Structure 1
């Protein structure tokens, strides 16, 4: 697979859903990918990349991003509070706001620095005990608390259970977002992004289908 092929599939899925392809942001998930795989994707014009770990993102993009104007880094993995400042300094968006301790830390840092990346609340749509995220029935209250802290929450994110049909999870995320007047829906990965687009995704996170299998 390649960047061009994924871009074409996104555009086709958007058209089939009666949407404009420009409504969907492709996040190329570069976590654990070697630079020799990332560089050709940058050179092909991709500018939005997803990283799981702040330290890895810093080591890669501190030198690489300035070479390619307009590059955006999105933190898509679990964020430790002790990494929050570094994440806020480098990230255009954080997709894994999942607990009040992190929310209050981000709010304090935003007050100190005068800036904050766009934030997506991660919702654990499958209520999986091993997975991060706010439970669906707690999401409304959590979003309200984040707004009370003046955090720039723009949307929701989910990772459906691997063994389940993702469509009901995407539908649930869209419903929660709609009743909280949130426009952003970060949902869909390499195996299911077309299903996510059909259900309103605004951001899809695609890694292996662009770069190939990650190093272990």
Structure 2
């Protein structure tokens, strides 16, 4: 059962947030995990401030955006009023947006190629900032999707550390839409474990309960909180 089927969603209201939080608590109880070990990222992409403010008003402070430019258009003003907000970039990052991304985001989930590593390393040094970094794993090896192939992940993670001087906190994945998600979550968790990484950004509106069972520390939930885009 998904959160959207357990509680009615009213656009621009916190109903969906409460339902998702309840589902996270249930999934954690089943997995014998502390709910505090799972960070819910409310994915606010395509939604403007009038939709985001009720979720902030309900106490939520961790949000995710897919695009740097879209985030720049709405979050600086919101973060002036709510300076404890934590903003995650969960979509693909272009090298020429690294400067803006490091300036705005507290975490970046889409490190996946050398050019991004170089750009991030430069901006982290120049801006004296330390956003939390996740390497994206393309678990389904889908050609249209960003991410590092699973069999290249160990070498890429070593290069992040040894060549670019980046501190990687964890891994992120987006399973193929037509596949059962659990094997993809399990593969991501296995890669993380053998590389000493403790954070796993896995699970979206339809499958975050499964991701929690498989060890997710961050779940990225949009439509179950905000309603349909």
TM bracket, shorter-chain basis: over 0.9
Q: Deviations over 1:21-42 (max 9, x none)?
A: 0000000000001322111000
- Mapped to 1, the partners of 2:218 and 2:176 lie a distance apart of 19
Q: Secondary structure at the match of 2:99?
A: helix
1:182 to 169, 173, 197: 197
Residue 45 of structure 2 corresponds to which residue in structure 1? 31
1:111 to 103, 112, 125: 125
Two-structure CA RMSD over aligned residues (Å): 0.8
Listed as ranges, the matches of 1:72-151 within 5 Å are 72-148=86-162, 149-151=164-166
1:204 to 199, 208, 219: 219
- Mapped to 2, the partners of 1:43 and 1:57 lie a distance apart of 19
Task: Count residues in correspondence.
Answer: 214
Residue 56 of structure 1 corresponds to which residue in structure 2? 70
Q: Secondary structure at the match of 1:49?
A: strand
Q: Deviations over 1:166-191 (max 9, x none)?
A: 00000000000000000010000000
Q: How far did 1:104 drift?
A: 1.1
Contact 1:117 1:152 in 2 (8 A): no
Alignment gaps of 5+ in structure 2: 1-8, 10-15
Alignment gaps of 5+ in structure 1: none
Q: Secondary structure at the match of 1:116?
A: coil
Residue 159 of structure 1 corresponds to which residue in structure 2? 174
- Mapped to 2, the partners of 1:156 and 1:170 lie a distance apart of 10
- Mapped to 1, the partners of 2:172 and 2:148 lie a distance apart of 10
Residue 4 of structure 1 corresponds to which residue in structure 2? 18
Q: How far did 1:15 drift?
A: 1.1
Contact 1:97 1:121 in 2 (8 A): yes
Q: Secondary structure at the match of 2:152?
A: helix
